[in-house]
């Protein structure tokens, strides 16, 4: 106990001595201060603030700060240090010592006037270079931003930890390869877009029935690009002006998402006008504020949407998300069950060829429920396809051999599989009724994606 008190006293003396030494230095040197606010006068995000934050949190000297916050990093077991509010960190550049203060929503740089002319510009360029390197190496922790229903025109954020990747997405391999190639080309195309006189952005339309993987695909895009995600809930926005304000406050290197756009457009009581949506997609404000962004819009169907809304320039790439086919089923089996081949696969393929299908979400749920037995999981999918798939009424497709029964208890496969899928369908039907009772919806077959 005495040793603990003695050590605590020494630490307190050291902290006070450090403050005293800084005060003595301040007496002999004249300093100048520069503020880096998070928002500028028009409430638009200051991009330098984000880069300074990345830079400061990468400095080894943050460990010497009197107070620092310990937070979870990008991975669950990663622990990172962040500069606490009202705390100071030192940095050294070209023989000069600089001080950064973390105020609420503002970083303050303290620099000696005699050093300012010599190092300020090179130092700021150094910050840009380090922050860009962190971005390129994917070390930056991604965040999910959502607009608040109470604080109109402002974002709130949480860490973005969605595990979806292009490897886990159930999609045709050729289409997946084309999408990845398109995104890689976009990342390298800044000068090309500027030479054309166009804003450096890319717009995607993802359309298809519920449960076909559109939201997971958005998460996979964000992880692939190492971009933050801004998800806009149009129902929480009172007018077109606040929608513009949200776009102004988004940052580069981000995926801006509006889901279920067709349902919102069909809602006659919506407070956002059609012209407000059009201006958000390709208006003058978007051209000025959407640099280095990917815009994503999702729909259940584009059949009843004005084609002018989806013309090239507003939407660059259309991707159709159909119900599951055999190729997507094999991807799901590999991801959920760790199975690449199975003796039941030919039977599953035959069922798909006869017109039965379920959404990837429904099939995935069956596999999760039976993940300890791949054979039982696949037989649950077979039963669900035979009874609940779009090919319902076609009877038992394919022959069920004695080997297929294995050692499963009687009735388990049919009972559990049928119960799970019917519950899912009831949930989807209830959701559709609540959201789209003022509009008609259709899941008819749609034209192929331009990427196909």
CATH of the domain at 170: 3.40.50.300
Is residue 217 located within the same domain as residue 185? yes
Residues 32 and 131 in one domain: yes
Give per-10-residue mean pLDDT for the chain (452 aa).
Answer: 70 70 62 86 76 83 60 56 75 89 86 88 91 75 84 78 89 91 94 90 93 93 93 89 86 92 84 85 75 92 87 90 90 90 92 89 92 92 80 36 37 37 51 43 38 45
User: Of 387, 418, 440, which residue constitutes the final position of a domain?
Assistant: 387
What local confidence, expressed as pLDDT, does residue 123 receive? 92
pLDDT at 389: 60
How confident is the model at residue 254, as a pLDDT?
92
Q: Which of 387, 410, 439 is the last residue of a domain?
A: 387
pLDDT at 276: 86
Q: Is residue 53 in a domain?
A: yes
Residue 29's pLDDT is what?
A: 63
59 shares a domain with 119: yes
- Domain assignment present for residue 412? The answer is no
Domain range enclosing 208? 141-318
pLDDT given for residue 66 in this prediction: 56
My answer on whether 255 and 158 are in the same domain is yes
Residue 354 lies in a domain: yes
* Number of structural domains in the chain: 3
Whether residue 162 is found in the same domain as residue 305: yes
Decide if 202 is inside a domain: yes
Asked whether residue 312 falls in the same domain as residue 187, the answer is yes
In a shared domain, residues 97 and 204: no
Asked if 213 and 129 touch (Cβ cutoff 8 Å), the reply is no
What is the structure's pLDDT at 349?
Answer: 92
Same domain, residue pair 191 and 285: yes
Give the residue ranges of DSSP H helices in 389-411. Answer: 402-405
Last residue of a domain, one of 302, 318, 334: 318
In this prediction, residue 448 carries a pLDDT of 38
245 and 265 inside one domain: yes
């Amino acid at each position: 106990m005495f040793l603990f008190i003695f050590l605590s006293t020494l630490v307190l003396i050291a902290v006070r001595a450090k403050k005293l030494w800084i005060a003595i230095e301040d007496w002999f040197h004249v300093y100048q201060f520069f503020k880096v606010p998070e928002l500028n006068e028009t409430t638009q995000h200051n991009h330098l603030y984000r880069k300074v934050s990345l830079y400061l949190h990468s400095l080894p000297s943050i460990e010497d700060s009197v107070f620092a916050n310990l937070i979870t990093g990008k991975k669950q077991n990663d622990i990172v240090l962040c500069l606490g509010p009202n705390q100071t960190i030192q940095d050294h550049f070209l023989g000069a010592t600089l001080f950064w203060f973390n105020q609420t929503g503002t970083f303050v740089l303290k620099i000696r006037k005699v050093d300012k002319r010599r190092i300020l510009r090179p130092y700021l360029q150094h910050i840009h270079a380090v922050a860009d390197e962190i971005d390129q190496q994917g070390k930056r922790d991604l965040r999910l931003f959502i607009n608040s229903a109470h604080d109109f025109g402002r974002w709130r954020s949480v860490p973005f930890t969605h595990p979806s990747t292009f490897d886990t997405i159930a999609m045709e391999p050729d289409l997946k390869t084309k999408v990845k190639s398109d995104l890689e080309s976009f990342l390298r195309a800044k000068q090309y877009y500027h030479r054309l006189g166009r804003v450096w952005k890319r717009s995607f339309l993802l359309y298809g029935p519920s449960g076909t993987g559109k939201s997971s695909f958005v998460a996979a895009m964000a992880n692939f690009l190492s971009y933050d995600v801004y998800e806009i809930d149009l129902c929480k926005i009172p007018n077109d002006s606040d929608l513009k304000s949200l776009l102004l406050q988004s940052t580069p290197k981000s995926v801006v998402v509006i889901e279920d756009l067709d349902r919102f457009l069909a809602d006659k009581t919506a407070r956002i006008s059609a012209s407000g949506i059009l201006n958000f997609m390709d208006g003058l404000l978007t051209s000025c504020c959407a640099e280095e962004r990917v815009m994503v819009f999702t729909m259940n169907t584009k059949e009843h949407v004005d084609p002018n809304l989806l013309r090239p320039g507003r939407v660059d790439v259309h991707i159709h998300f159909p119900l599951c086919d055999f190729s997507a089923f094999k991807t799901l089996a590999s991801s959920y069950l760790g199975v690449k081949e199975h003796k039941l696969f030919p039977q599953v393929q035959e069922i798909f060829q006869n017109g039965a299908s379920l959404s990837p979400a429904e099939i995935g749920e069956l596999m999760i429920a039976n993940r300890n037995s791949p054979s039982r999981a696949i037989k649950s999918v077979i039963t669900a396809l035979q009874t609940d798939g779009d090919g319902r009424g076609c009877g038992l497709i394919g022959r069920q051999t004695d080997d297929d029964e294995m050692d499963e208890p009687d009735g388990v496969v049919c009972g559990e599989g049928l119960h799970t899928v019917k519950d899912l369908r009831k949930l989807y039907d209830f959701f559709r009724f609540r959201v789209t009772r003022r509009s008609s919806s259709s899941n008819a077959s749609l034209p192929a994606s331009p990427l196909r």
